[in-house]
Structure 1
């Protein structure tokens, strides 16, 4: 995890922005969270081609993720007052500013990919398409829409999984794809990484649901118990707490099994999968 630690603010032209807007962007990015998605991209790259990945496309992932959190926290969406241990952007500033900053971070992410050095035009186009699909109607946006409509409704386990494959899993899988594309991975290698990402993306959400019940708000850096309060469908609601924990372990093993073709070179991806399932925040 530490090898791919980055500061997303380094990818913004803060000195060229309106000073007030630059300050809001800095606030949004100064606590950059767990950086799981950049870690996945970095480790996907190093699993195929040991060495140093260009961190510009990796930064694009964190900008997209941060934009999605800013918008998710808005009153019209999840209505959360805390994010990463401090007031959400719309609470620290205002709703209009939060919407605009989220929009700007999203646009900047694709600008970074288009301008990324040391990558071919074909690689850039593939990355832009992968990230756009994962962020849009086939991914986060579509999954978030289903999530909003699902409040106070009953969902089957299959429907819940399909929703989270879009809302959370799509960007996880895109992270691995970006790293694999940057490393010029084969179709077989990219497919194995995608299978790993499918399982670990769902595991991430299962653990989030568990932590919403068991987690401490201070450790989480956001409000605990929001899902139950909003009567949202969750893995805990459908499977019970013990059942959700068992499902997280099953998904972890499936993710680890998907990496068999890489041998020891994927050990850090296996370790990251264990971290995702065993984390307390």
Structure 2
């Protein structure tokens, strides 16, 4: 299938996810109306919706003929809310200080830094309100062979852990601490960079694939395999983002290029060179594809998505 055909299908799936998210938007009313407006502005700013698409595709692969979209929809919305909150906070003046995201003004550029901070906080908490309500009202699922038999609790635990200090927030912490560091050896910088990419970017991709698998009926070992696939894809995705920060354009990316260099951040490009970075993207993605093949999912949309991400321009 051609790239154009795949992009058309990806766009359709992104629109499908966006329509689902709209059904979970909070009403902009009462004394908190302004922060709710900022939350909705951030959430509906567009974007590729990669994480909820991954979650949905993972769910459908494992659920098969037993798939019931009502089970996964609240979690699709929740993962995008968590991802969006992280972007809102990343863009703040105290962080990356970017004024454009997804082709339009960032939340702090429109609503101010204080309200943008609250919007991010609101999105994070509302994500769990949404997922918990989904778990409370969802249909009964089969037992899970892990620490809890309850698949909804397992999914919520994955979301919380991967979004928190042992996941994305931990990666963000390491990212800030590594900025402009001059006392680390190249070897230490590479170790820190791996931790950052594994957690800051990889954690939510891992969560997307794992939650979809858990709610779709996968066993513990299959969920662990999906976690490893998510790790590979997350790191590959971040390396590609580093590459695009050098080679991309504002028009393609919808945000300023060169922000990593401006903020003194170590990236795969700065530590390994751009050709080695590109080779690493392919290596990691091929490994993820092989793992899918081992589970007989090699002809899936997920497989196509991983391959497409190697060559993405935005």
TM-score (norm 2): 0.85
Work out whether residues 47 and 266 of structure 1, in 8 Å CA contact, stay in contact via their aligned partners in 2: no
CA contact (8 A) 1:40 1:269 kept: yes
**Aligned equivalents of 1:185 and 1:141: distance in 2?**
27
Preserved contact between residue 292 and residue 298 of structure 2 (Cα < 8 Å): no
The equivalent of 2:121 in structure 1 is 103
Residue 83 of structure 2 corresponds to 65
Q: Determine the structure 2 residue equivalent to 1:12.
A: 25
For residue 244 of structure 1, what is the aligned residue in structure 2?
Answer: 277
1:255 to 283, 288, 298: 288
20-29 or 102-111: bigger deviation? 20-29
Contact 1:9 1:26 in 2 (8 A): no
Farther-moved stretch of structure 1 (212-221 vs 156-165):
156-165
The gaps in structure 2 that reach 5 residues or longer are: 1-9, 142-149
1:3 aligns with 2:10: no
Give the match for residue 5 of structure 2: none
Picking from 25, 41, 45, the partner of 2:59 is: 45
Number of residue pairs matched by the alignment = 281
- Counterpart in the other structure of 1:191: 224
Output the CA distance in 1 between the equivalents of 2:80 and 2:41: 14
Q: CA deviation at 1:91?
A: 0.6
Instruction: Name structure 1 gaps, 5 residues minimum.
Output: none
1:82-108 C-alpha deviation (Å, 9 max, x unpaired): 111111101111111101111111111
Q: CA deviation at 1:178?
A: 0.8
Distance change >3 Å, CA 67–CA 120, structure 1 → 2: farther
6-15 vs 135-144, which moves further: 6-15
TM-score for the superposition, normalised by structure 1: 0.94
Pick the aligned partner of 2:268 from 232, 235, 248.
235
2:85 alignment partner, SS class: helix
Does residue 24 of the first structure (1) align with residue 30 of the second (2)? no
What is the CA-CA distance between 1:76 and the residue it aligns to? 0.9
Aligned partner (choices 126, 145, 152) of residue 180 of structure 2: 152
Shift of the 119–67 alpha-carbon distance from structure 1 to 2, 3 Å rule, reads farther
Question: Matched residues in 2 for 1:152 and 1:24: separation?
Answer: 32
